[in-house]
A and B are shown apart, each in its own frame.
Chain A
Amino acid sequence: MIIEHIDAQLPGTVTDRHAFRGDQTIVIAGEHLLAVVDLLHREGFQLLVDITAVDWPEREQRFDVVYHWLNLASQERLRVKVPVADGGSVPSLTGSFKTANWFEREVFDMFGIGFDGHPDLRRLLTWPDFPGHALRKDFPLDGGDVFCMEGCTAPYNNGERGGR
């Protein structure tokens, strides 16, 4: 239902959509995000449940930033995906949703996606000088040489690391 409202009031913004067992998903471009969010807020989607992202290394626009909204009155849920290229950014939602602040910091930390207009875009989970972004598909699981994962020997077992 909400998707029809968006279509009516902001024609042409929804580039893709699908519904699976009651899950409604729309895909929009980054430049339309603030207008759509404004409309959603007026339509009653006032709980921003989560912001996360997905890495698709083979795609040209490498990341999907994924937003989840809940309409508290009608219990309707909506998922909004915004594709963004490597090194690109999307507008920050901190103006309309206070909870977006830390969500966006987490996405920035884990994927390296920028958020324009964010008041304090620092890393949230890892430490400030952490090398790389941990949830990108090309990030090595052990973090490369972070904390000497391969080179160190253990103090027990005669200094040998033991079988791998």
Chain B
Amino acid sequence: MSELDINDAVMTTRLDAVVNWGRKNSLWPMPFGVACCAIEFMSMMASRFDLSRFGAEAMRFSPRQSDMMLILGTITNKMAPVLRTIYAQMAEPKWVISVGVCASSGGMYRTYATLQGVDRVIPVDVYVPGCPPRPESMIYGVMKLQEKIEKESLSMRKDHIARFYESLARQESLQAEKGLTSQQAIREMLMDAGERGVGTIF
């Protein structure tokens, strides 16, 4: 009987590394498709570009069953509270890719109706530029997100999401106390954040 070498049977690593390795290779995307970027997204999921090569083919249209939100298109101010609710409903840990210029910065819509960047209301991990970006760009964005997941620590991600929940609770208490609509509450929080010079409400 040959002697068993312990190094052949056991591997040592960090918990972060092994958990993140699993997470980055099994992202479950949820398309928040509101404009033409969603068409490019369909192309990205389909056979020619095929996101399943990156382990992210299990697309779900319910936020409860997904952990990577792709914001595909223009988010209006009226939609902002909906976006926050849907982000809050997603399974943890969760990531957000802002696809296209409209979602990232308002793009060409510098108007009363358009939210000037979704990063004002929810935390964004990766921005993909383009109008709309090509499927390759979106895949590159997913690869960048995978790199990011690889490097982050578990507690960092947890705190990151907890900060958002704290802002959501603040929004809800504002609505209850002052009798505001969700749009009004978010606007008030943005004005307050602008005065403090931070630009985000979470």
Contact = CB atoms under 8 A, between A and B. Distances in A.
Contacts, number: 68
A159 B199 contact: yes
Interface string A148-164: 11011111100100000
A143 interface: yes
Interface stretch (A36-44, A83-91, A126-134): A126-134
B125 to A, nearest CB: 12
Contacts of B111: 141-143
A126 B78 CA distance: 7
B187 A147 contact: yes
A141 B199 contact: no
Nearest to B123: A155
Interface residues of B, number: 27
A151 B116 contact: no
A127 B183 contact: yes
B167 interface: no
A146 interface: yes
Contact of A146 (B120, B187, B200): B187
A152 B112 contact: no
Interface stretch (B62-70, B87-95, B152-160, B190-198): B190-198
A113 B186 CA distance: 28
A159 B196 CA distance: 11
B112 A141 contact: yes
A156 B112 CA distance: 22
Interface string B168-202: 00000000000001011011001101110111100
A129 B181 contact: yes
B202 to A, nearest CB: 10
Contacts of B190: 147-148, 152
Given A127-B78, A141-B110, A153 B183 contact: no
Contacts of B198: 153, 155, 159
B29 interface: no
A147 B199 contact: no
Contacts of A134: 112-113
A128 B181 contact: yes
B77 interface: yes
Contacts of B105: 154
A112 to B, nearest CB: 15
Interface of A: 126-129, 134, 139-149, 151-156, 159
28 contacts: A126-B78, A127-B78, A127-B181, A128-B181, A129-B183, A129-B184, A141-B110, A141-B111, A143-B113, A144-B112, A146-B77, A147-B77, A147-B186, A147-B190, A148-B187, A148-B190, A148-B194, A151-B195, A152-B120, A152-B193, A152-B194, A154-B105, A154-B117, A154-B119, A154-B199, A155-B119, A155-B199, A155-B200
